[in-house]
């Protein structure tokens, strides 16, 4: 296996989950993703032209304005001011339902890796990234910044994969919509196990504030397909409620319910100009990075 192909393996959630360091996870996922692209996703969005000044020793030739030289026969360089073009808030659900896994990677583990990779990608292209961790309330909040040192604070917070309490998404979304004053991008990463109408009310609050929104709906494959084959005890990870049954008794109604839920989010998000992205924990992490970069390209 070539070194490039070897790095591609870090897009596989089971492989990256074996890494203890969130910083290492984020770097290897993004490097593995870049290898699969025809060109780097780093575009240098933050540079904005300001004015001219005379060329002097030490100035880079590539900054010379040759058109102006043709008119004046004098060398001038373009001065640039560093300005972050995008401020992104990544809102991560850490409620107990996110601990579910039917394999080696829980929804929370996958979500942490995705948020870490997105943060790494954003800050390395000089966008500002911030993070919110919540369950029934906001547990942690790091405001967006674009400095490379800021990434360490985000990744350190994501290294803690402890779950919170029950899921209460709507009040968290309303609180953040009120707190975010500047327009930017809001990314919700959650299994959306709460009242769907209330969740949409919270998301629409962001749209009312002119925020761009992406929803990454994280599910375990078994939560959709429900392919349990023997008598099984099912436990609600948040309420503790239990039910023991033959799965085939409820499979049809259950799968209809989950599919209907996805259809609801898909339809309502489209209606409100929100990007809805269902992701399963057995899918490669490049899916989330691609969706973000597609959104980033549209924003300019």
Digit-coded pLDDT (tens) for 258-293: 899 999 999 999 999 999 999 999 999 999 999 999
Same domain assignment for residues 23 and 141: yes
Q: 42 in a domain, yes or no?
A: no
Q: 78 in a domain, yes or no?
A: yes
Same domain assignment for residues 251 and 283: yes
pTM summary value: 0.81
Tens-digit pLDDT profile for residues 211-220: 999 999 999 9
Q: 56 in a domain, yes or no?
A: yes
pLDDT at position 160 over 50 = yes
Same domain assignment for residues 54 and 170: no
Q: Facing residues of 142 across strands?
A: 131
Q: What's the rounded mean pLDDT across residues 164-191?
A: 94
Same domain assignment for residues 12 and 151: yes
What pLDDT, on the 0 to 100 scale, is given for residue 53? 67
Q: 147 in a domain, yes or no?
A: yes
Q: 31 in a domain, yes or no?
A: yes
Closest CA to 89 of 155, 145, 169: 145
Q: 1 in a domain, yes or no?
A: no
Same domain assignment for residues 249 and 288: yes
Same domain assignment for residues 161 and 221: yes
For the chain, how many structural domains are there in total? 2
DSSP secondary structure of 165-189? SS--HHHHHHHHHHH--S--EEEEE
Q: 143 in a domain, yes or no?
A: yes
Same domain assignment for residues 15 and 67: no
Same domain assignment for residues 270 and 287: yes
What pLDDT, on the 0 to 100 scale, is given for residue 231? 75
Q: Do the beta carbons of residue 51 and residue 42 sit within 8 Å?
A: no
Residue 39 has phi, psi (to 5 degrees) of -150, 160
What pLDDT, on the 0 to 100 scale, is given for residue 224? 86
140: domain range? 6-37+86-299
Tens-digit pLDDT profile for residues 89-121: 999 999 999 999 999 999 999 999 999 999 999
What pLDDT, on the 0 to 100 scale, is given for residue 79? 58
Same domain assignment for residues 123 and 61: no
Same domain assignment for residues 70 and 139: no
What pLDDT, on the 0 to 100 scale, is given for residue 23? 93
* Arithmetic mean of pLDDT over the chain: 86
Same domain assignment for residues 261 and 228: yes
Same domain assignment for residues 153 and 64: no
């Amino acid at each position: 296996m070539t070194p490039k192909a070897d790095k591609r393996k870090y897009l596989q959630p089971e492989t990256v989950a074996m890494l203890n360091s969130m910083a290492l996870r984020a770097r290897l996922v993004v490097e593995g993703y870049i290898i699969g692209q025809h060109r780097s996703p780093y575009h240098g969005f933050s540079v904005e032209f300001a004015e001219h000044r005379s060329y002097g020793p030490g100035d880079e030739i590539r900054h010379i304005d040759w058109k102006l030289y043709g008119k004046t026969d004098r060398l001038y360089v373009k001065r640039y001011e560093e300005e972050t073009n995008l401020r992104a808030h990544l809102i991560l659900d850490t409620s107990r339902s996110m601990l579910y896994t039917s394999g080696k990677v829980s929804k929370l583990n996958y979500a942490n890796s995705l948020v870490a990779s997105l943060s790494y990608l954003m800050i390395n292209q000089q966008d500002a990234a911030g993070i919110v961790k919540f369950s029934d309330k906001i547990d942690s909040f790091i405001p967006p910044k674009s400095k490379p040192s800021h990434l360490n604070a985000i990744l350190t917070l994501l290294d803690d994969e402890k779950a919170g309490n029950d899921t209460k998404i709507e009040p968290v979304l309303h609180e953040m919509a009120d707190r975010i004053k500047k327009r930017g991008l809001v990314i919700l990463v959650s299994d959306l196990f709460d009242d769907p109408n209330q969740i949409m009310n919270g998301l629409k609050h962001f749209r009312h504030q002119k925020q761009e929104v992406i929803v990454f709906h994280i599910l375990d494959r078994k939560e959709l397909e429900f392919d349990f084959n023997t008598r099984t005890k099912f436990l609600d990870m948040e309420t503790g409620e239990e039910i023991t049954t033959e799965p085939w008794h409820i499979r049809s109604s259950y799968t209809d319910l989950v599919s209907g839920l996805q259809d609801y989010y898909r339809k309502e998000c489209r209606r409100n100009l929100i990007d809805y992205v269902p992701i399963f924990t057995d899918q490669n992490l490049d899916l989330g990075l691609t969706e973000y970069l597609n959104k980033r390209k549209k924003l300019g």
